[in-house]
Amino acid sequence: MSERLTPERPYDVVLYGASGFVGQQTVQYFANHASPEQVRWAIAGRNRQKLEAVRDRMGVKVDVLVADSQDQPAIEAIVAQTRVLLTTAGPFALYGTALVDACVRFRTHYVDITGETPWVRTLIDRYHAEAAANGTRIIPCCGFDSVPSDLGTYLVVRHIQREWGLPCQQVNAYFQAFGGFNGGTLASAFNLYDSDAAAQMYQPFLLNPSPPDTQVAEGNRDPQTPSFDADLNTWVGPFFMGPVNTRIVRRSSALYEEWQQPYGPDFAYQEYFKFDEPLAWLKATGVTAGLALFTGVLQQSQLRSLLQPILPQPGSGPSEQTMNQGWFSCELVGTAVDGRKLRGLIRDQGDPGNRATVKFVCESALSLALQTDQLPGGPMRGGILTPATGLGEVLAERLRRTGMTVAINP
């Protein structure tokens, strides 16, 4: 038996929600990348028949564990058997809390693909202190929300500090992407806008340990309009995932400051959608207006009810062709306190909301399962963490080995 396993913990990783649209892709990823000699894993969810069908279709010989997310004893029985729990079962505000609660109590590391920042705030309030004390890494937002933003910023900042000997003043990220939405992502968004917590999404420092002073908060408000960016020499606009990703990056910066490893004084982070010529200004204006309209529809329950039937439903998503043809690019520009600029790039082939998200979350789980001693802060760091504070360089190197571009000064 592996030294990493005990009779009480027969699994390295359990994939929860494995019969869902993204969950099935995590099973396929583990089947392709996690050899049984290296990682012992199982799949879990609430419907044994569906789980067994997924297992048989993928041609893998893994155990099937059954527990409804609201059945606390059954959840505990699963969590107690694994060192890492990976869940793709959203909306996470509905189905995730019992899993996190059990993981903290049983000291089982946890990763997910949520972008529901108000829910993450509740996790911080309820569980951060206990998880920090017992060395359990609870790491939400390990999908396209928010690995490129958070890990990219961390790598740029640390390179500036290490190579130039200077603090970092600011990082901006610029996204381009092509792909499709799956029904689970949309269901999470709809659930969030149905809840009382939706207004919290617009607090720039929602996930920070404590709020910054007013001047710093004003300088980090979400961009609302297109603008010309001199660093990229083109037009940029608000990025629809910015209200999620920026909160995660700012939490990373704040936690590292608490641990005496700050990014820089009054460090600022912002992100944008990048538009290429020709007609970059027109594209930026049109997409920004469309995003504002769609957000307005989401906020109106009556309008949303008209839209929902024609959008992908939970359990469905883009075609294999769309997911394979998709891609994303995250360009980063870091500014040192002396004004010098450093560029970074995270880019990969594959639909960002599915292919990239699956790669990010699976490699995050494998980082926890296989390289615990090499993670930031050593094996006893815990809390409600972020990709940068909980996984850092270990995740970056694992992603590079999959063929993803993760580069500084590309």
pLDDT tens profile 51-73 = 999 999 999 999 999 999 899 99
What does the pLDDT look like over 333-357, one tens digit per residue?
999 999 999 999 999 999 999 999 9
Indicate the SS3 state at residue 328.
strand
Confidence of residue 3 (pLDDT cuts 50, 70, 90): very low
The 10s digit of each residue's pLDDT in 82-134 is 999 999 999 999 999 999 999 999 999 999 999 999 999 999 999 999 999 99
Q: At 281, which helix (H) or strand (E)?
A: helix 280-299
- Alpha helices in 15-146, H assignment, sequence order: 21-33, 48-58, 72-79, 92-95, 97-106, 117-134
Distance CA 178, CA 185 (A): 16
Q: Is 107 helix (H, G, I), strand (E, B) or coil?
A: coil
At a CB cut-off of 8 Å and minimum separation 6, what does 12 contact? 2, 4, 5, 39, 40, 41, 82, 83, 84, 369, 370
Do you know the residue count of the chain?
410
- Locate 346 and state its tokens: 């995270």
CA distance from start to end of the chain? 43
Distance between CA 132 and CA 259 in Å, rounded? Answer: 12
pLDDT in tens, 122-172: 999 999 999 999 999 999 999 999 999 999 999 999 999 999 999 999 999
Q: Is the pLDDT of residue 202 over 70?
A: yes
- Give the separation between CA 106 and CA 6, rounded to whole angstroms: 14
* Cα(114)–Cα(122) distance, integer angstroms: 13
Helix (H) or strand (E) holding 316: none
The secondary element (H helix, E strand) that includes residue 159 is helix 147-159
Q: Which residues, in sequence order, are CB contacts of 155 under 8 Å at separation 6+?
A: 344, 393, 396, 406, 408
Q: Structure pTM?
A: 0.94
b/e burial code for range 286-316 (CB count within 10 A of at least 16 → b): ebbeeeeeeeeebeeeeebeeeeeeebebbe
Give the type of residue at 378: G
pLDDT bracket for residue 310 (50, 70, 90):
low
